Amino acid sequence: MRRRTLFAVPALLLASPARAVVLGGRIEQGAFLRGRAEPGTRLALDGTRVRVSPDGAFAFGFARDAKDRARLDITHPSGARETRLLTVARRAWPEQRIDGLPPAQVTPPPELLERIAREREMLRAARAGHDTPEAFFAEGFLWPLTGRITGVFGSRRILNGEPRQPHFGLDIAAPAGTAVAAACAGIVRLAEDDLFFSGGTIVLDHGHGVSSTYMHLSRLAVRVGERVAQAAVIGAVGATGRVTGPHLHFEIGWRGTPLDPETALPPRPQL
């Protein structure tokens, strides 16, 4: 089988090297993109290496505020080099106002800053500190639960009237206790039941720097280091951390850059 593939494919690739690397999805700000390359291809996005699995799967993403142009450097298995300039479409981000939050959660008191900094570093390390060679992400992502979307990726946030950093996740409201499933198979990198902002929090590593994060959980069903299958129950919806009601805050990231989960997920389920 393998020999036949090696024999049949190169003619096509030589005739059209551009086809040797295929990107799935729309190239836009916040996008998570999965792709396929001929095994042995090397890739770099704006100078950052993009890992390609032995069977040619890769993934990368564009930040919420990505510039209009990106550069994909391709080294084909033959050694031939190609540079593709990608045009990154701009998106307009909505504004979301949330009032009635406890003031200490909008502007934390100084005695909590050390804890908050420590927890931020734990999250950063869990999401960006791994370059796992397995390409779990190649199977795609599923919704971790069905619920009402109450917050989208990228929105500009005004909390109790004060502008704060953008919202980097997707908020899915559901009753407390609703099961939360792994959106994709992976390895648990963080499982903490009481972070200041995010309460019960889980980070899964889907390989090649791709991660998903689940926040405000009332219950955790996994431990750090455990491997989980896609759709396995990892916890339950809660209202822990900085929230106004029970919901899941769900994030997808690549090498620590938060991306729009809706660019990785199937269309919103009909409720």
In whole angstroms, how far apart are CA 33 and each of 63, 107, 133, 165, 198?
12, 35, 17, 24, 26
Q: What is the closest distance, in whole angstroms, from the C-beta atom of residue 73 to Zn ion in the complex?
A: 35
CB of 245 to Zn ion, least distance (A): 11
Distance CA 67, CA 69 (A): 6
- As measured in angstroms, the least distance from the Cβ of 251 to Zn ion is 8
The correct pick among 119, 171, 192, 262 for binding Zn ion (CB under 5 A) is 171
| Separation between Cα atoms, residue 220 and residue 64, nearest integer Å | 29
Edge-to-edge order in the sheet of strand 21-24: 21-24, 32-37, 57-61
Smallest distance from Zn ion to CB 150, Å: 8
Q: Which residue is nearest to Zn ion (CB)?
A: 249
C-beta of 127 vs 249, nearer to Zn ion:
249
Among 35, 61, 154, 169, binds Zn ion (CB under 5 A): 169
| Ramachandran area for residue 217 (φ above 0: left; ψ -120 to 50: alpha; else beta) | beta
71/97 with CB nearer Zn ion: 97
Q: Which residue number, 169 or 199, has a Cβ lying nearer to Zn ion?
A: 169
Closer to Zn ion by Cβ: residue 208 or 249: 249
Binding residues among 145-164 for Zn ion as defined by CB under 5 A: 151
Are 45 and 58 a contacting pair, CB within 8 Å? no
Task: Report the site for Zn ion in 233-262 (rule: CB under 5 A).
Answer: 249
Q: Exposed, middle or buried by CB within 10 Å (0-12, 13-18, 19+), for 219?
A: middle
For residue 131, the minimal CB distance to Zn ion (Å) is 27
Binding residues for Zn ion, per CB under 5 A? Answer: 151, 169, 171, 249
